[in-house]
Structure 1
């Protein structure tokens, strides 16, 4: 009995027309039900980035329990590096595992184009700015002395 009922109601949905209402395309919307959105419109306002970061010492051995700050940077073509880094937004604090590695996914706004990675170690090259590739896979190796 339930199967027959479902078939009848499912068939009624299959016959509906989902083409855009011409009036909604031509008139200004006064409420959300008046809006028309293209079928390929993406409601997601974030993207998932895979981070693969390794921290080693000068001998190439893994450095465990190193804390790192991951921040997003604003888009700024005419802004100097110091000003840009001052306007960063912290996304996450992470710690390397026993293999000196951080491997995880983080979600950032679609507007984020670069990340700032900062080790909490007093060493040369403890900070790096990385542009996000199209693959959304970020890999970097820090060597601490």
Structure 2
């Protein structure tokens, strides 16, 4: 069990340090942030809660250290912002320049404003989507920024049922 805890502590400590570097690199470059509360945010919060709940089963010193490091890693990850920047957009700490976007579309859905980017893979000929969910209050700012940064790249995507 001790080896298991040591592996967990090492992995999550490394993830924390890596994410801190991403945090300082990404967050200052974002001009329009996405919504904070998403399904992934809720899942990460649940992961933190479940890691704390394991202390009721195992309560050794290594378990406390493991839980502390895991919760810190999750909190640091949740502080990492997503959104639009001046030269591209950021998703999960990954920067994608606007020049890699084939086309984009946006639409309003319930209480959020979605932007879908169709991207070309830099290592092959594949294409994939990246989605960002913004607050409705930022809708005009997002549209204005996208039209300014990527003129003529908007394309209406058929909504799938």
Q: Same fold (TM over 0.5)?
A: no
Larger gyration radius, structure 1 or structure 2:
1
More strand by proportion, 1 or 2?
1
- TM-score, normalised on structure 2? 0.22
Q: RCO (CA 8 Å, sep 6+): is it higher in 1 or 2?
A: 1
TM-score normalised to structure 1 length: 0.24
Q: Which has the higher helix share?
A: 2
